A and B are shown apart, each in its own frame.
Chain A
């Protein structure tokens, strides 16, 4: 089972109180943010604080850093300062193409060599926030073996589309669909955008239902309160687990009897259904005791 990334929680990189407590909410990944959550005059301050936090705090979960884009005056300085602390994952915002991924990949390789970290141990992910980035999503996803996920950043994307964000999310339907396809083709995970109205729990759940159906592996979150809601949604239900167990039992029985046709309750079972059942059980096992149902 691949690493769970149901919830990726943003934490402002220049806020010591939030940074120190970030590990206690059970998010699968915490993203220490040097980009949008940090004022332009405090970028230096944030990267020093994020460096010290990663060096000295055992978060007990995957730690990512969202750097500033490498075309800004801050992106490369973020990497220079933070890589020696060995974050698990670097998240690039506003990715526009595979060249950016390759440049950062090379820079990380040099840092891994210099600091004697195992080669390839620092992973990468990229957020697509422009139509160009979306068009090149597969190339971005497959530009480096470090890439573990694609994400969509809705606010910038919607602004680029010249529309507004709605509760139903129709404006994002095509982009979300394309992103999932690109990520799946490249064999990596796909993470949905943040839902920023933390008081609209009903809207949040509707969006979770949609993205789970579409095939997303998880969601970026901005508030600790959202973490357990996301985990509940992504955990297989007791009914799904029961069905998966019965599918696998029927499949096993058919194998033993050397029967060519497998059926359960009168419905034919073929190999994709078996594969889905196996995935459901692996997911249930991986999420057990980690804030899932």
Chain B
């Protein structure tokens, strides 16, 4: 998949989870991540990079990401991004 067809969401705002919202964007927009996290100072850059890498690995070039993190670990972040992507392509 290289293009999102619709707005999609995955995850929750419960502890240890992350709520990911993906919105289609025009060509050339790039991957823009808006992140809220209680661990922004320590892990903000890491979370952004992980979200971006997961999207790039799935061939996405243009997307608006809203991520509401509640202390999710890497495996949760990846799983939620992938689920949102699958839902956006349905």
Q: Give residues in A with beta carbon < 8 Å to B.
A: 15-17, 20, 44-45, 48-49, 51-53, 55-57
Contact = CB atoms under 8 A, between A and B. Distances in A.
A16 B72 contact: yes
Contacts of B74: 56
A57 B83 contact: no
Interface string B10-31: 1100111100000000000000
Given A16-B16, A17-B17, A52 B86 contact: no
Interface string B69-90: 0001111101110110011000
B78 A45 contact: no
A56 B75 contact: yes
A15 B11 CA distance: 9
Contacts of A51: 79
A53 B16 CA distance: 13
Interface residues of B, number: 18
Interface of B: 10-11, 14-17, 72-76, 78-80, 82-83, 86-87
A52 B78 contact: yes
A43 to B, nearest CB: 10
A62 B80 CA distance: 25
Given A16-B16, A16-B17, A20-B16, A48 B73 contact: no
A44 B75 contact: no
A77 to B, nearest CB: 11
Q: DSSP majority for the A interface?
A: helix
A52 B72 CA distance: 13
A53 B80 CA distance: 12
Contacts of B16: 16-17, 20
Contacts of A52: 75-76, 78-79
The 5 A-B pairs of least Cβ separation, nearest first, read A17-B16, A52-B75, A49-B79, A16-B76, A48-B79
B86 A44 contact: yes
A228 B31 CA distance: 48
Nearest to A53: B75
A51 B78 CA distance: 10
A53 B72 CA distance: 12
B69 to A, nearest CB: 11
A65 to B, nearest CB: 14
A54 B87 CA distance: 22
28 contacts: A15-B14, A16-B14, A16-B16, A16-B73, A17-B16, A17-B17, A20-B73, A20-B75, A44-B86, A45-B11, A45-B79, A45-B80, A48-B79, A48-B80, A48-B82, A49-B79, A49-B80, A51-B79, A52-B75, A52-B76, A52-B78, A52-B79, A53-B75, A53-B79, A55-B75, A56-B74, A56-B75, A57-B75
